[in-house]
Amino acid sequence: MRLRTKFSRFDKLLFFMPVIIFGIGLLSVYSASHKVHQSLSDQLAARQLLWMGVGILLVFLVVRWSYFRLIDAAWPFYFLSLFFLTVVLFMPARMGAHRWIGLGGFNFQPSEMAKLAVILVLSRYFSSNRIEFMPKSRLIEPFLIVGVPFLLILKEPDLGTGLILIPVFLCMLYLWGMRPRTILTFIALGVLASPVLFHFLKEYQRARLMVFINPNLDPLGAGYTIIQSKIAIGSGGLFGKGFMGGTQNQLKFLPERHTDFIFGVIGEEGGFVAALLVISLFWLIIRRGYQITAQTPDRFGSQLACGITTMFAFQVFMNLGMTMGVLPVVGVPLPLVSYGGTSILMTMFALGLLINIKVHRSLY
């Protein structure tokens, strides 16, 4: 009877909206990576489908147990993520970065795990410590919790994933009770320090920021991807060029079209209608996530829902922004759409936790 009660509260929107988004993404991955006479085992779309199957199974497993059990697992999970973030720095470089640990045929990306680990530990910390009773000397602690994995992720380097931790942290600070004026002060200090931090970036990262201001500064180099992505999205028109009919995609003008710039494939082949559909589905998920945040009475569950939703929202925002040329290119995948096993599994695990919070918050 108790299990039946739990699944009667199962959030169908939070389950089916990601599945629909994944379906659209799967078609785009297939279109962007398909090769003639390629075996099924070598097709990226087939691997993506397998990972999503595991992700769906993961959701149903996560929902069975109360999210309160994660309180005890938060710190071990956090230190495990730091261990993997350290190990990955000694892995062979791929495309100039140390981001993946090879596990047989699966490439594990520790930074995806670290994002959720930081959210879990911050949720535990903020739920067990009231800000109004905290001595000022201890206010540095949550900054250290975020700062250590942030610096390790930057070391890989993976600027995009590292940047996602910042809005997540600020939103959770606000929910904790920190004054908006204090948070705005932190943001202002970060903006003022940006010219200094600019010189610590890798050469290609500085080039990406410069071509964001003027893509024509290096149209055949750092600005090439932005220009081709904007052409792909703009050429799709209202209804697109049809499945596997996009010239920018099929003729391979668009780089990274199955990963970071897959939204360009959606815009070119599905047009404005498909692009708007995907954005609307993302908006529904984000809206539901913040509704769960507001309606969850306990501090741990509310903080956890806030962190997960903000992480998801800003990853979507950053990816769409860079593919449309309104944000710098920082190498952030589009959740549930871009090719990548770790991203799919950790996103589905995070969404499973959101469903878990809704299911169990009213049972305790």
Q: For residues 129 and 121, what is the distance between their CA atoms, to the nearest angstrom?
A: 12
The number of distinct structural domains making up the chain is 1
Dump pLDDT digits (tens) for 299-315.
999 999 999 999 999 99
User: Across residues 279-306, what is the average pLDDT?
Assistant: 96
Average pLDDT over residues 227-244: 91
Handedness of CA 48, 244, 335, 279 (dihedral sign): negative
User: For residue 250, is it within any domain?
Assistant: yes
The closest of 228, 256, 255 to 338, measured between CA atoms, is 256
Residue 1 has pLDDT above 70, yes or no: no
**Across all residues in the chain, what is the average pLDDT?**
88
pTM of the model: 0.92
Name the band, by pLDDT with cuts 50, 70 and 90, for residue 222: low
Per-residue pLDDT for 233 more than 70? yes
- Indicate the Cα dihedral angle 7, 277, 335, 73, nearest 10°: -20
Out of 151-160, 179-188, 192-201, which region has the weakest mean confidence (pLDDT)?
192-201
Which residues span the domain enclosing 197? 17-33+43-360
Q: Within a domain: residue 146?
A: yes
Whether the predicted pLDDT of 331 surpasses 90? no
Kindly state whether residue 8 falls inside one of the protein's structural domains.
no
Q: Long-range contacts: 256-259, Cβ < 8 Å, 24+?
A: 256/225, 257/32, 258/28, 258/29, 258/32, 258/33, 258/44, 258/338, 258/339, 259/333, 259/338, 259/339, 259/340
Highest mean pLDDT among 35-39, 115-119, 183-187: 115-119
Contact, 121 vs 355, CB < 8 A? no
Average of pLDDT values for 215-222? Answer: 68
Alpha-carbon separation of residue 35 from 30, 32, 184, 250 (angstroms): 9, 9, 50, 10
pLDDT at 213 over 60: yes
